[in-house]
Amino acid sequence: MTSRFRKFLGDSALSFPTWAYMLFFFALPVALVMWYSFGFKPDQFTTHSMEQLSLGRYREVVSPTFLSVFTATLRISIVGTLACLVIAVPFAYWLAVKVPPGRRGLLLALVLVPFWTNFLVRTLGWQIILSPDGFVSEALQGIGLLGSPLDILYSRAAVQIGVIYNYLPLMILPLFVAMDSAGVQLREASADLGAGKWRTFFQVTLPLATPGVVSGCLLVFIPLTGDYITASVLGGANGTMIGQLVANQFQNAQNWALGSAMAVVLMLFTLAVVVVTALLALVVKAIIRYVGRVELPTGQHAGTDAGTAADLPEGSRVRQAEPAVSGTTTGGPHA
Amino acid sequence: MPERIRRRSLTDTALWVWGAVVFVFLFLPIAVIVLYSFNNGRLLASFDELGVQAYVSGLQNDVIIASVMTSLKAATGTALLATVLGTFGGIALARATKGAKWPVLLTALLALTLVTPEVVDGIAMLPWFVTLGVDAGLTPFNNGLFRLVIAHTAFSTAIVTFIIRARMAGIDSSLEEAAEDLGATKWRSFRDVTLPLAGPGILAGALMAFTLSLDNTILSSFVQQPGYTPWPVYIFSAVRVALRPEVAAISTAMLVLTLLALALVGLVLKRSGNSSSQIVKTMAGS
């Protein structure tokens, strides 16, 4: 074994099983899908053929049907992610700051109960709630708020409610962790230095929670974009999402080549969103840093932006999982 | 001064109200399902009369019980396999020499699995299992349960790895060095020092893999084989035909069991001296 080889492998021996598994059961099959996307469907009974390689399937993907479903999916996932963020920021702040520490654990556990309830079953709960002859509809009619039965099930609005509900815990959790680990000391320091409540929130708590916001948004956006279960339970025919189109090519149309091309487009798109989000987060952080800087009268600039994430003491971030986005959060010292 | 106090209590009140509203939102559909599981009627959505008929007939329904068992078996297998892979991977990543290239590559590969939409995993796995099982003659790949475990593990290993890496990153590696200085072999120091230290992370990772597998619908619907239909896939196909109260009844029973199991895990963690916030965070994988 040459020393260079040893230097490259180093202490990686322990990670070999993980490497092998992920390459064999993730990288290889996905590479196979990419390969299929250059093929074609020769006849009714064959799923794909690789005898003639072309980009033809990608041209087929960019059809009006696909594009309209694609835009609709995008609208639902962007609105869904933003709505989750708007709901979760005050909630996570309340949980991390206002709730007495003794009760925090119990309430956090309660937030996770939906997370541990089957995804489909929760969605079925919404189907019952939103149904035109359900109890909500009858109650609303009873008190005269609605003249006719509730007409929301099997519409895009129902899908929107369903996805916001299903992915909300994934937004609350990283936000709570980020706001909680910032600790009470920095907020007290900010108040001692004369900042009001809102100023402390926008210049100390929120910037410190940026990694949580980024991971929360990605944790919600990525699975939401690929999800079609919620949409097909609550949206019916009006709830076609992009994932459904891909699945149809494999499960019904038996056109693996076209389905693969759609899947590759979906994957590249998701990846692009992740990269753009990461870049945007960096820009926003730089802006917050610039706007939030404090000019000290002595002209000393050292430590002027104590409120931004980069100046967080390393130890306080160590316990964060940084799940999906280890590359995009600032990364702990051990990353 | 009094004005300031009143204004502060106003935002506080708003936050408490918001907290309550979000909790109602989070529990509304679950409460509905639990309530409707006591529906004696024929269809889930139209409430007929109160009773436990759904529980009785649900537990006697062989198809339902078989699919729940398939799900539980697949989730157990996934939790075991993903935890072993994630523990090795997570510890190796946390203890990697600074400046080495492989940790970056492995992290990138695992992160890639997380940003890959589930439907892509599904359509990638299906032809791959056919290739391995039929073309290459590796018969286990034709077994429904085996397929579910392999696919769910590929899907959840990344999260387990990251949970354990985060846990180990917070622990000083000098503890292991001390063990080796005191004469322990590399293996003994790993078994007697590193593994116990990673304990809470391993537990959280296993729990996470179990839940992910139990909940998985899209990936399972691609790789499943006749006779091995997992519970979520059963429900999803029932949605398209007609939903009977049995689905709600069995789901409620499963929820109660899950919560009991989680309470037990919480108790174990509490006895090892964690604060309640910490316990929940550990269990949620943060």
**pLDDT at B153 (0 to 100):** 93
3 state DSSP class of A272: helix
Instruction: Identify from A69, A77, A121 which residue to disrupt to test chain B contact, counting B C-beta atoms within 10 A and taking the largest count.
Output: A121
Interchain pair B23, A110: CB under 8 A: yes
Span A127-152, average pLDDT: 80
One-letter amino acid for residue A289 of the chain: R
**pLDDT at B70 (0 to 100):** 92
* A318: pLDDT strictly greater than 50: no
What's the half-sphere exposure (Cβ side, CA atoms, 13 Å) at A166?
31
Q: What are phi and psi of B107, to 5 degrees?
A: -60, -40
pLDDT tens digit string along A190-240?
777 777 777 777 777 777 788 888 888 888 998 898 888 888 888 877 778
What's the half-sphere exposure (Cβ side, CA atoms, 13 Å) at A170?
23
Distance from CA of A53 to the nearest CA of B (A): 19
Residues of A in contact with B114 (CB under 8 A): 222, 323-324
pLDDT tens digit string along A71-107?
888 899 999 999 999 999 999 989 888 888 878 888 8
Residues of B in contact with A15 (CB under 8 A): 88-89, 92-93, 102, 106
Interchain pair A256, B154: CB under 8 A: no
Residues of B in contact with A17 (CB under 8 A): 84-85, 88-89
Interchain pair B36, A128: CB under 8 A: yes
* A286: pLDDT strictly greater than 60: yes
Instruction: Identify from A48, A124, A161, A322 which residue to disrupt to test chain B contact, counting B C-beta atoms within 10 A and taking the largest count.
Output: A124
Q: Which of A126, A325, A327 is closest, CB to CB, to B29?
A: A126
Interchain pair A274, B166: CB under 8 A: no
Average pLDDT, chain A: 78
Interchain pair A125, B108: CB under 8 A: no
Interchain pair A247, B12: CB under 8 A: no
Question: Where does the pLDDT of residue A7 fall: very low under 50, low under 70, confident under 90, or very high at 90 and above?
Answer: low
Question: Where does the pLDDT of residue A325 fall: very low under 50, low under 70, confident under 90, or very high at 90 and above?
Answer: very low
Residues 81-140 of A with CB under 8 A from B: 87, 90-91, 93-95, 98-99, 101-102, 104-106, 108-129, 131, 133-135
* A294: pLDDT strictly greater than 70: no
- In sequence order, what are the beta bridge partners of B50? B39
Interchain pair A25, B128: CB under 8 A: yes
With CA atoms as reference, report the closest residue to B191 among B87, B85, B106.
B87
Residue in chain B nearest A22 by alpha carbon: B154
Query: Any CB–CB contact under 8 A between A291 and chain B?
Result: no
Distance from CA of A306 to the nearest CA of B (A): 23
A299: left (phi over 0), alpha (psi -120 to 50) or beta: left
Residue in chain A nearest B263 by alpha carbon: A109
Q: Domain spans of chain A?
A: 33-184+210-280
Interchain pair B236, A180: CB under 8 A: no
- In sequence order, what are the beta bridge partners of A3? none
The span from the CA of B199 to the CA of B79, in Å, is 15
CB–CB of A167/A80 below 8 Å? yes
Residues of A in contact with B58 (CB under 8 A): none
Distance (Å) of CA A246 to CA A108, A260, A325, B110, B222: 36, 8, 26, 23, 12
Q: What are phi and psi of B50, to 5 degrees?
A: -75, 135
Residue in chain A nearest B100 by alpha carbon: A8
**pLDDT at B26 (0 to 100):** 92
Query: Any CB–CB contact under 8 A between A322 and chain B?
Result: yes
**Could you tell me what percentage of chain B is helix, strand and coil, using 3-state DSSP and rounding each to the nearest 5?**
80, 0, 20
Pick A311 or B102 by higher pLDDT: B102
Burial of A142 (0-12, 13-18, 19+ CB in 10 A): exposed
**pLDDT at B171 (0 to 100):** 73
Pick A51 or A157 by higher pLDDT: A157
The winner for highest mean pLDDT among A274-278, A330-334, B3-7, B73-77 is B73-77
Instruction: Identify from A84, A95, A118, A187 which residue to disrupt to test chain B contact, counting B C-beta atoms within 10 A and taking the largest count.
Output: A118
Architecture of the domain delimited by A33-184+210-280 = Orthogonal Bundle (1.10)
Tell me the ipTM for this assembly.
Answer: 0.83
Pick A3 or B38 by higher pLDDT: B38
The span from the CA of A25 to the CA of B124, in Å, is 9
Interchain pair B280, A105: CB under 8 A: yes
Distance (Å) of CA A25 to CA A60, B109, B212, B232, B237: 29, 12, 17, 23, 27
Distance (Å) of CA A139 to CA A124, A146, A204, B56, B275: 20, 9, 44, 31, 43
Domain annotation for chain B: domains and CATH numbers = 55-283 (1.10.3720.10)
Query: In percent, how much of chain A has pLDDT > 70?
Result: 83
Residues of A in contact with B115 (CB under 8 A): 218, 222, 270-271, 274, 324
Ranges of residues in chain B whose predicted pLDDT is under 70: 1-8, 272-286
Interchain pair A121, B85: CB under 8 A: no
Distance from CA of B18 to the nearest CA of A (A): 7
Residues 89-148 of B with CB under 8 A from A: 89, 91-97, 100-103, 106-128, 131
* A175: pLDDT strictly greater than 60: yes
Residue in chain B nearest A15 by alpha carbon: B89
Interchain pair B45, A322: CB under 8 A: no
Interchain pair B214, A218: CB under 8 A: no
